[in-house]
Amino acid sequence: WAACAAVGVVLAFVATSALAADNATQSAVAEQDLEASRILYEMANVLAKAPAMSVTIRSGYDAIQEDGQRIEFGEKRRITLQRPDRLRVDVQRSDGDKGQILFDGKTITAFRAEDNVFARVEKNGTIDEILVFMVKDLQMTMPLARMFLTNFPQGLEKQVTSISYVEEDYLFDVPTDHVAARSAEVDLQVWVTQGAQPLPRRVVITYKNAEGEPQFWAEFSDWNLSPNIAGDTFSFTPPSGAEQIPLLAPVRQKGSLPAQEGDKQ
């Protein structure tokens, strides 16, 4: 009986320890989720509240072929904006094609270097209003457009269903926090710079409801929240021989992704 009693005490101790460990694990997960939320929303608020910014974005996306094969296409964009109503996007695609999109507060200008053509649309508004207009009305390709809206944090709150902390990542030139989030349509991963300016360094979006679950990724560099912006940055001077076309029509890329939260990838 003494032996049985001893075994019972040991089993009870093991069970209690396992329960305590399980509770500790659950507590750690809950704390990680809170920390992940803090990191993600601090990043979103920094972007939303910045009066001006410039950044280079190199990105790629899967184009699922009819036979199921994944083919990746990409581009590099240099974005400069000055709130409330100035925007410039310089684009170079993986096939070498270059272009520009400029907004000076009154006019949207799109230029396509390969054909040496440009188009203009008269439109007043803020950067928020112009980005929505370009994506929804003009069907223009503006990857990650929502990240540059002043309501970016509110958009995340509305759509994100879960957030978790993955790890502290040391593969960039500065330490980053790797955060994963989910919504009904996509899985999102973001690597956020640690420190006083929590800015995104990498984003991966998986379109889990689309055929083949294609991915879009982007890497951010040369962030500047106090850029020295020249007076003619948002003005367009047509190159020699450039032809103005009457309508700002969307140009299809080789393959496409489903729209992510209203952004045309």
- Please state the separation of Cα 106 from the chain's center in Å: 27
Q: Is the pLDDT of residue 104 over 60?
A: yes
pLDDT digits 0-9 by tens, 8-45: 433 344 444 444 545 544 454 555 599 999 999 999 99
Q: Would you call 61 helix, strand, or coil by DSSP?
A: strand
Q: Is the pLDDT of residue 2 over 70?
A: no
Q: Is the peptide bond before 84 cis (omega within 30 degrees of 0)?
A: yes
> What order of strands is seen across the sheet that includes strand 98-103?
162-169, 176-182, 186-193, 200-207, 215-224, 52-64, 70-82, 86-93, 98-103, 107-112, 117-122, 243-244
Distance between CA 138 and CA 85 in Å, rounded? Answer: 18
Is the pTM for the entire model greater than 0.95? no
Beta strand 162-169 with 176-182 is antiparallel
Stretch 221-240: mean pLDDT, rounded?
A: 96
pLDDT digits 0-9 by tens, 246-260: 764 454 444 444 444
pLDDT digits 0-9 by tens, 157-201: 999 999 999 999 999 999 999 999 999 999 999 999 999 999 999
Distance between CA 143 and CA 120 in Å, rounded? Answer: 21
- Please state the separation of Cα 14 from the chain's center in Å: 47
Q: What is the reported pLDDT for 247?
A: 64
Q: Is 44 exposed, middle or buried (0-12, 13-18, 19+ CB in 10 A)?
A: buried
